[in-house]
Amino acid sequence: MSLFISNAYAQAAPGGAQDGGMSMLIMLGIFGLIFYFMLYRPQAKRVKEHKNLVASLSKGDEVLTQGGMVGKIVKVSEEKDFVELALNEATNIVVQKSAISAVLPKGTMKSL
DSSP string, 40-95: IHHHHHHHHHHHHHHHT--TT-EEEETTS-EEEEEEEETTTTEEEEESSSS-EEEE
**pTM check: above 0.85:** no
Q: Which long-range contacts (CB under 8 A, 24 or more apart) does 70-73 make?
A: 70/104, 70/108, 70/109, 70/112, 71/109, 72/109
In sequence order, the β-bridge partners of residue 76 are: 83
Residues in the chain: 112
Write out residues in the chain with pLDDT < 50, as ranges.
none
pLDDT value of residue 7: 60
In sequence order, the β-bridge partners of residue 84 are: 75, 94
Side-chain-facing half-sphere of 76: CA atoms under 13 Å? 16
pLDDT value of residue 51: 95
Single-letter code of the amino acid located at 61: D
pLDDT value of residue 111: 87
Contacts of 74 (CB under 8 A, 6+ apart): 59, 84, 85, 86, 92
pLDDT value of residue 65: 95
What is the sign of the dihedral through the CA atoms of 69, 65, 96 and 89?
negative
